[in-house]
Structure 1
Amino acid sequence: MASRTHDPAAKPAWTPSARKPPLSSRMMRAIWRGLPEKRYDVGWEPGVEVPAADGSPLVTDHYFPRTDTDGDFPTLVVRSPYGRGLPWSPQYGMLFAEQGFHVILQSCRGTGGSGGAFDLWRNEAADGQATVAWLRQQPWFNGTLGTIGPSYLGYVQWALALDPPRELKAMVVQVGLHDPYALFYADGALRLEQALLVGLGMTYQHRGIMPVAKATLRLQRRMRDIVTARPLRGAYASALGDVPWLDDVMTHPDAGDPYWDGASLARAAEGLSVPTSLVSGWHDALADQTLEQYARLREAGCDTALLVGPWTHTSAMQQGWPEVFAESLAWLRSYLCDDPSEMRPTRVRVHVGGDDTWRDLDDWPSLPPVSTSWVPTPNGHLDQRVLTAPTDGAGSAPLASVRYDPADPTPSIGGPLLSRTAGARDNSALEGREDVLTFTSSPLAEAVDVLGPVSARLSVSTDTGYADVFSRLCDVDAQGRSTNVCDGLAQVETVGEGPSEVTVPMSSTAYRFPAGHRIRWQISGGAHPRYARNPGTGKSAVEAVDFTAIRITLHDGSVLELPDGSRTG
């Protein structure tokens, strides 16, 4: 770890720039509501060059509070591969500077005018350390440092936390990433739509509004042709151009492949002592990663907080921004400014879907989870019952079957996506398809609370030996509208004639099924284009040209496990 060398007397005097932040940022700032009053006017020093670990210039904008007296303000580092303009300039540069922070908004290597070549995840630790080394030489740096940012801007924080500088006193990771493999794959199945959208953002967003807008429209127009191409590999080039790292991602589906060595930064949280605030949404594409981060930090004894709202990956930073900003600001003031006055009293705050309330908890899950078992029946019912060990021959009787045709794949609707179609959606049309199985409870006599990780244990067989199984929990209201709550996908390889056992993690939730509603378990062979189509042949989904329709049979012994949310301590 580099030593801290903060000696203001040894540094040259600093003459603050008189420039105001960009007009576009000031205009966006003016439209936000529900935010605290600003404490300071904001100054702006654009285009500062900070040397990267290899000497490449990292273009950096410096936002700071303007004051007539010598201010002593902590510093926030925000490193981004998405440019330094909208929305980052007003959302982080301006808002936090006007609350009393120096803010360093920096373009990652090879993006936004910074030198060198962008290489997904491989340079962030070294370049983060180089940025801190540069900060130590700045006359306005008071030796107190925090980090903040969403998505990949969270990944660069974990990269710095691998070897945290002594000055690092707080982190705020919002809808953040720590494991690129899990961003792109679920149990070896390619998260196709997500991969394309990440490719779009990484390639074009740092170039400015018009280039990314044109690329977005181009991808939208060509999306169907791209996701149905045979083979799938390289089809994205018609919309995104040549993106070598994306081709690498799509052709390395095995988590154990050396390609992914060092990509996951899970180890950063395992021994961390830097107080860390985590923010996510129940329909955030990275919600599972946030909950994993929280569990590791708690295991390490790190001071941490968790906020999970009714948000998607993007809406957390838009509609949810007043809550997210207040949470983040309170955390930073507490640990960087020694002002805990705005901190909430509990470690965890989650939004409970179904009745649109918030619940404050001491931990997540609030108690060791106890699950209730919901069992499908041959007539399409879903019954809550106590399972006993099967007798000889039990557990193999078929309950229902469905035919999945990769040439006409089961479509994806809503859920934890990066796109604007994410979130809770009406599943009625989807459930009317012949390639979707549903099992539905009777109307509930009283409300059922689900709080914690949801999973399915399936006993399945296939006629080709290869399949995916998509499992979804839904809430059916009194009018028959079926709304998705949480879901997951797992790959299945069956051996012999008997069924195979597979567990499908279905993420976590905080949800109340009101009295009179029904609980529905939805099962299908995929969700396209959210996931690449399983060709049914055992061949790579990216390279496959020939497809085979798959008969998937669900057998007795399959169970939907729902964590009991009535026990909150």
Structure 2
Amino acid sequence: MLDIVRTPPAPESALSFPARVRVRDGVRLAADVYLPGAPGDVETSPGDTILIRLPYDKSGYYCFIPLIAEYFMGHGYRVVAQDVRGKFRSEGDALLFVNEVDDGYDTIEWIIRQPWSNGRVAMWGDSYYGYTQWAAAASGHPALKAISPRVTGTQLGEPVHRNSPGRTRRVEWGVTYLYPLTQFFANDALHWEPDWSRRDFATQAEEFMNQVGARGLSYDQWYPNPVHLQRFPGGDPFAGRSVPVLHTIGWWDNCAPLSWADVDEIGRHPNWDAHHYLRIESIDHESYRLLDAERDRVWERSEQQIRDLLPRTLDPAIAFFDVFVRGNGAPGDIPRVSWNLAGTEGMQEASTWPPADVQTVTRHATVDGGLVADSTATEATMQWTHDPADLVPSSAPDAFSFLLSHPDEAPIGDRSDVLRFDSPPVPSHVDLAGPVTARLRVCSDGPVMDCFVRLLDVAPDGTALRIARGQQQLLQATEPETLEIDLGHVGYRLQAGHRLRVHISSSDYPEFLPQTGTGADPWTWGETRCNTQSLAVGGRDGLSLTLPVLEGELP
């Protein structure tokens, strides 16, 4: 029997009063309404409202929405926190992503008809409740004046499309098919972990559904024969009316690639780009910071720790809403880019990202494990074995809270199935700010090859912190192919005496589903086979890394 923990809705906050929002198809969505003044005092004068739509229990401990609402109320905002359709106290089917545009529109329409609303609405939230902001914005409701999505993306949770054309595609996250079997299976959250040593995940999914006596609507629409339900009108979240956005990305957020993809897409829509404000922090998905004190690196934060977290989390949004919702100040008062140089305190400001003074440099791998400026190194082929029975382990126990464990990845580089390349130590600090890319030519004796590239900061004591990463899957992998792998963006100070290191591998488990070696579906598993992987170093096609240097010089 699987160990399944069911989490029902928590008691509603005494600071709020409950409401039911009837949307266009008759479904009623549960909301908590927080108004400044005495709890439940609906006679309060009309004012601006912040809407938070989430699937993780509007009243629960995990997202601490009552404390967030209290903080926003302290700045004069009304707050509506709502369970999305099919979750906790809301009616309807627990169906991922596809109802959020219409439900967001209808909820905003309900808000502006209330006596405590002045007709102006903003939205705030992380992850899925960042996604619901993009969805509501795509609905085009004119009362939505600004949004503040954090650590999220418009394609959040989208499975890899296995019938997509071309020889390359994304590597599937391990959590993709697990999410609709836990957080989005029923009204309550159902917490359980697969036996990661078995790897027959599809079988374990069936065991779970048999044990609870129900099927998962979202899971069945994704696997094994995906139904591609349209999330946004016309398929483009940025096709319609634009909304001012304070867009927060975390350097160590595992969902950051989705955020950066939206940044690129917004850049192709001038009406959105005109009032897109970027904020980049040294946080992971769960808002742990690189420079957090050890006492704050705890899985269950105390109420006081949560309250201490609120100013740095919410004050930027309040300043943004004060301008774009209340009209207090001018857009020029908000920096277009506010970013933290990881390893330092405070935020820096820029008019563009990357900052204008960034210089691009390239470093090349050598067969003896170097990472050098000279591109004339001897051409060679380096090989390693991908063994489905002995996978390269993920460095953090929970990818969403990477900085909670702050893992040292140096031991991973000692494995025989990981190639390692080191730069010389830097004589003085070097600031990196912008996109990082890797170019490499690879092949395999197996049909499918996953290629993971990790960029690390190695301290003089030998410990290594990952600062950027990327991965790509190569199909028909017996034929060599040159890959351009996006490692995301970095804002990082490499201290004097530190060096850069690159890890190349074929697995990162269980954060990513591993290859069987036979081309079989990793979620189903089955027969396995070891593969020999090959990487070119030196010469025109050898592994190279392109880096953005803002200050200092790499050797």
TM-score (norm 2): 0.82
Give percent identity, aligned residues only. 25
The code of the aligned residue for 1:58 comes to L
How much does 1:262 deviate? 3.5
In the alignment, what sits opposite 2:81?
Answer: 105
Task: Kindly indicate whether the alpha-carbon contact (under 8 Å) linking 1:176 and 1:289 is maintained by their aligned counterparts in 2.
Answer: yes
The C-alpha deviation readout for 1:130-187, integer Å capped at 9, x for no partner, is 2123223322221111111111111111111113212111111122231035577893
C-alpha separation in 1, matches of 2:333 and 2:460: 36
Alpha-carbon distance change, 380 to 265 in structure 1, aligned in 2, over 3 angstroms: farther
C-alpha separation in 2, matches of 1:203 and 1:310: 32
Task: Kindly indicate whether the alpha-carbon contact (under 8 Å) linking 2:357 and 2:550 is maintained by their aligned counterparts in 1.
Answer: no
Match of 1:366 among 337, 346, 355: 355
Q: Does 1:293 align with 2:278?
A: no
Task: Kindly indicate whether the alpha-carbon contact (under 8 Å) linking 1:159 and 1:265 is maintained by their aligned counterparts in 2.
Answer: no
Secondary structure in structure 2 of the residue aligned to 1:50: strand
C-alpha separation in 2, matches of 1:276 and 1:552: 43
The code of the aligned residue for 1:307 comes to R
Task: Kindly indicate whether the alpha-carbon contact (under 8 Å) linking 1:183 and 1:286 is maintained by their aligned counterparts in 2.
Answer: no
In the alignment, what sits opposite 2:22?
Answer: 51
Secondary structure in structure 1 of the residue aligned to 2:119: coil
Secondary structure in structure 2 of the residue aligned to 1:144: strand
How much does 1:326 deviate? 0.8
Match of 1:279 among 229, 242, 248: 248
Alpha-carbon distance change, 247 to 483 in structure 1, aligned in 2, over 3 angstroms: farther
Match of 1:337 among 326, 348, 352: 326
Alpha-carbon distance change, 324 to 133 in structure 1, aligned in 2, over 3 angstroms: same
Task: Kindly indicate whether the alpha-carbon contact (under 8 Å) linking 1:441 and 1:519 is maintained by their aligned counterparts in 2.
Answer: yes
Aligned 1:298-313 pairs, distance under 5 A? 298=267, 299-300=269-270, 301-313=273-285
Aligned 1:12-411 pairs, distance under 5 A? 44-46=16-18, 48-66=19-37, 71-86=45-60, 87-182=63-158, 187-193=169-175, 195-196=177-178, 199-203=181-185, 207=188, 215-216=190-191, 218-219=192-193, 223=194, 225=195, 227-236=196-205, 241=212, 242-251=215-224, 259=228, 261-262=230-231, 267-269=236-238, 271-298=240-267, 299-300=269-270, 301-315=273-287, 321-340=310-329, 345-356=334-345, 358-367=347-356, 370-385=359-374, 387=375, 397-398=380-381, 400-411=382-393
The C-alpha deviation readout for 1:324-344, integer Å capped at 9, x for no partner, is 211011111122222239996
C-alpha separation in 2, matches of 1:421 and 1:239: 31
How much does 1:24 deviate? 8.6
C-alpha separation in 2, matches of 1:479 and 1:547: 39
Alpha-carbon distance change, 163 to 361 in structure 1, aligned in 2, over 3 angstroms: same
C-alpha separation in 2, matches of 1:427 and 1:406: 21
Task: Kindly indicate whether the alpha-carbon contact (under 8 Å) linking 1:451 and 1:509 is maintained by their aligned counterparts in 2.
Answer: yes
Secondary structure in structure 1 of the residue aligned to 2:97: coil
Task: Kindly indicate whether the alpha-carbon contact (under 8 Å) linking 2:71 and 2:310 is maintained by their aligned counterparts in 1.
Answer: no
C-alpha separation in 2, matches of 1:316 and 1:337: 31
The C-alpha deviation readout for 1:343-402, integer Å capped at 9, x for no partner, is 9652111121244553221121123965311111111111123x48x9xxx96x31x211
The C-alpha deviation readout for 1:417-440, integer Å capped at 9, x for no partner, is 225676742012211211111000
The C-alpha deviation readout for 1:241-282, integer Å capped at 9, x for no partner, is 543423543546xxxx76254469983335543211111211
In the alignment, what sits opposite 1:457?
Answer: 439
C-alpha separation in 2, matches of 1:264 and 1:378: 51
Task: Kindly indicate whether the alpha-carbon contact (under 8 Å) linking 1:352 and 1:512 is maintained by their aligned counterparts in 2.
Answer: yes
Alpha-carbon distance change, 195 to 315 in structure 1, aligned in 2, over 3 angstroms: farther
In the alignment, what sits opposite 1:514?
Answer: 495
Task: Kindly indicate whether the alpha-carbon contact (under 8 Å) linking 1:192 and 1:532 is maintained by their aligned counterparts in 2.
Answer: yes
The code of the aligned residue for 2:432 comes to V
Alpha-carbon distance change, 342 to 96 in structure 1, aligned in 2, over 3 angstroms: farther
C-alpha separation in 2, matches of 1:282 and 1:49: 38
In structure 2, the gaps of 5 or more residues are 1-9, 162-167, 290-305
How much does 1:542 deviate? 1.7
C-alpha separation in 1, matches of 2:360 and 2:223: 36
C-alpha separation in 1, matches of 2:107 and 2:37: 23
In the alignment, what sits opposite 2:532?
Answer: 551
Secondary structure in structure 2 of the residue aligned to 1:372: strand
C-alpha separation in 1, matches of 2:198 and 2:223: 14
Task: Kindly indicate whether the alpha-carbon contact (under 8 Å) linking 1:312 and 1:416 is maintained by their aligned counterparts in 2.
Answer: no
How much does 1:77 deviate? 1.6
Task: Kindly indicate whether the alpha-carbon contact (under 8 Å) linking 1:376 and 1:439 is maintained by their aligned counterparts in 2.
Answer: yes
Secondary structure in structure 1 of the residue aligned to 2:385: strand
Task: Kindly indicate whether the alpha-carbon contact (under 8 Å) linking 1:184 and 1:194 is maintained by their aligned counterparts in 2.
Answer: no
Secondary structure in structure 2 of the residue aligned to 1:352: coil
In the alignment, what sits opposite 1:426?
Answer: 408
In the alignment, what sits opposite 2:512?
Answer: 531
Q: How many residues align?
A: 504
Task: Kindly indicate whether the alpha-carbon contact (under 8 Å) linking 1:180 and 1:264 is maintained by their aligned counterparts in 2.
Answer: no
Alpha-carbon distance change, 510 to 329 in structure 1, aligned in 2, over 3 angstroms: same
Alpha-carbon distance change, 483 to 65 in structure 1, aligned in 2, over 3 angstroms: same
C-alpha separation in 1, matches of 2:429 and 2:13: 46
The code of the aligned residue for 1:52 comes to V
C-alpha separation in 2, matches of 1:529 and 1:376: 28
Alpha-carbon distance change, 283 to 264 in structure 1, aligned in 2, over 3 angstroms: farther
Secondary structure in structure 2 of the residue aligned to 1:192: coil
Secondary structure in structure 1 of the residue aligned to 2:550: coil
The code of the aligned residue for 1:140 comes to W
Alpha-carbon distance change, 376 to 264 in structure 1, aligned in 2, over 3 angstroms: farther
C-alpha separation in 1, matches of 2:68 and 2:288: 15
How much does 1:311 deviate? 0.8
C-alpha separation in 1, matches of 2:340 and 2:176: 25
C-alpha separation in 2, matches of 1:74 and 1:432: 56
In the alignment, what sits opposite 1:505?
Answer: 486
C-alpha separation in 2, matches of 1:265 and 1:151: 23
C-alpha separation in 2, matches of 1:138 and 1:327: 27
C-alpha separation in 1, matches of 2:389 and 2:221: 25
The code of the aligned residue for 1:538 comes to G
C-alpha separation in 2, matches of 1:83 and 1:92: 13
C-alpha separation in 2, matches of 1:416 and 1:500: 32
Alpha-carbon distance change, 163 to 302 in structure 1, aligned in 2, over 3 angstroms: farther
C-alpha separation in 2, matches of 1:562 and 1:182: 29
The code of the aligned residue for 2:249 comes to S
Higher helix share: 1
How much does 1:465 deviate? 3.5
Task: Kindly indicate whether the alpha-carbon contact (under 8 Å) linking 1:297 and 1:303 is maintained by their aligned counterparts in 2.
Answer: no
Alpha-carbon distance change, 270 to 316 in structure 1, aligned in 2, over 3 angstroms: farther
Task: Kindly indicate whether the alpha-carbon contact (under 8 Å) linking 1:284 and 1:416 is maintained by their aligned counterparts in 2.
Answer: no
In the alignment, what sits opposite 1:479?
Answer: 461
